[in-house]
Structure 1
Amino acid sequence: MSDKFFSEISETLSSARSVEDLTRPLLSLLEAVTELEATYLTCIDQDLGVQKVLFSYNTKTMTIPEGLVVPWEGTLCKRALDEGKYYTDDVPTLWGDCDAAKALGIQTYVSTPVRLNDGTLFGTLCAAGSERKPLTPKGEQTLRLFSSLIGLHVEREQLLKNLQSVNSALEAHSFTDVLTGLPNRRFLLKEMGRLFAEAEATGQTVLIAFIDLDGFKAINDSHGHEVGDVFLIEVGKRLSDGLRAGDVLARFGGDEFIVTGLGPAGETAGQAAAKALCDRLAPLLTGNYLLRGVTLHYSGASFGPTAADPRLLDVDAALRKADAAMYEVKRERKALGV
């Protein structure tokens, strides 16, 4: 094989970022080496019993369409694998009962399996033509080399996808409160950073409802932590029912929850919207809770409304302001004997 040939392969390998990036140039090179007018890569789903053409390179009149899905049983590829005969220049005689080969007018056919490191069959790398063509040693070597390269890249791509999936799961776990399943403090701070940036760009405010569950310690003391945990879960569900599109609810820690979202521009309008948010959510938490066989009447939580202008306050300062507003409401509720 010439230095130019290996140079083209090397360039393809170094620039390929996906199986498609690798395969398309290799199919063109395979066509040049075998002089067969259609080269293509398939994948096989043996559980579903189907074969699909992933990528193809077609010249002259023969066309193997990409995306074509056919039953795996009876295909040329399946027969070649089963019989160990990967090349023939007389398809009509050898496999004359293959309707697809008849329809396409395939005279010469060559294929090799594409396998992963553990031997799993991924698919086949094939070439076909309407004229009788010999398979040279160079053509056979090229087919096997390309099959190995594609198999390695498929495995690499699958590994990257698996790693991305694992990383996504780990990130989701790190952003989730284990007890309630709600976003946690870490996720909240990240999202509030995004909301503050968006509000600054659009001239809006960021609404915050800082929620503290009055009497939660007494629930734990009287009924035990197991009932207290169920209560926290139920609080999360009830608050979720009152969210607007775009609102974020998080368990901030212990018996504290926060709801935040974008609000109108201006301090007066923003503060009114924050109060309306709290007024809408507060009634959701009052009333009876059935918790592990215990019926609990809850008189409600303290809600601290705040509208933050991101040009004047950062996230930490806004949370401190909301926390202070919540404690003011808590004092008022206590004074009223609630």
Structure 2
Amino acid sequence: MRGLYIHVPFCISKCAYCDFYSLADRSDLIDSYVGAVLDEARAYSGLSFDTLYLGGGTPSLLGAEGLKKLLHGLRQAFDLSGMIEATIEVNPESANVDLLQAAVDSGLNRVSVGVQSLVDGELQRVGRIHNAAEAIATVERAGSFGFGGISADVIVGLPGQRWPMLHFTLMTLAALGVNHLSVYCLSLEDGTRLAANPPHDLPSGDEQAELFEEARCFLEGLGFLHYEISNFALEGHECLHNLNYWRGGDYLGLGPAAASHIEGKRFKNRSDLEAYLRHPAGLVDEVEELGPRDKAAEEAMLRLRLLSEGLVADELVRRYGVDTTADLLRRFDDMVNEGLLTRDGSTYCLARSRVLTSNPIFARVLGL
């Protein structure tokens, strides 16, 4: 499987917690941006893709005409005839009827809504510019257009958040027919407004972990599978595009700051929109080609993110060889003995109790 990712770096305003590459109030550059992405696409002309994901930023700011132009150009550059999943991220303030109709007409079949919370006070505290009613209306509107997949982002650990508030958000979204939820713990990232001035009533680390555990139990009770560290889905509604990432598959990223992994080679475009507009196919900043040992370790780490699927050691050995994987699997067995991982036959999984403290485990998998 091969995925195509398009990074759309536009926002109306920057949220207080966000450290993704995006620019506020630069809608004047959207037409030029679409043209540049299509120029970059032509540099890879002829490739075929199974999934498409428009992320950001706020892809819904492309507007109906910009989205149609982008998708039409991508279909001319690439073979998308076998595409089985195509997602657009939208925010409530820009996901209007025309935009959603253009998405359906262009062959998109999945929408991811940046809800974050259905409590107005929580949204305001972190700089979100929509309110709960607008978010609910967006989810309902997406459902009326017949998208097969409707996902919503939800943040755990917002200022002042307590379980009744989080429970209301999750319960309401499930009742609206959302079949996928990305549930992220709030983190204070360097360079963000929230990190520079942390609210006094942020939940502590332990409180955040308790909120996440309550959310997990609630969602599992509704039939959602906790299939990846931050992702829950009803059966058959897992995000195929992201599953391809976590299974170590190939993907191409277009747009400023977009990352790619093609045939063992990783590279990333420079996070500079204006430079990208001048040279859309020539601003790769980071290039890395992993050797067999590092590639095996990276694949093992990514597969551990898949909580039920995990890593099948026999498959890893078949791909990379006994000698290449021997030290890695010894590390895995050590972590099983320490209670960090579980093992069933040749399948290793992250211990359920370690989901929110997985980064040190992943570092050990990578040999760091």
Sort the TM-score into its range (normalised by shorter chain): under 0.3
TM-score, normalization by structure 1: 0.19
Larger C-alpha radius of gyration, 1 or 2? 1
More helix by share: 1
If asked which structure has higher relative contact order (CA below 8 Å, sep 6+), I would say: 2
Q: What TM-score do the two structures reach when normalised by structure 2?
A: 0.18
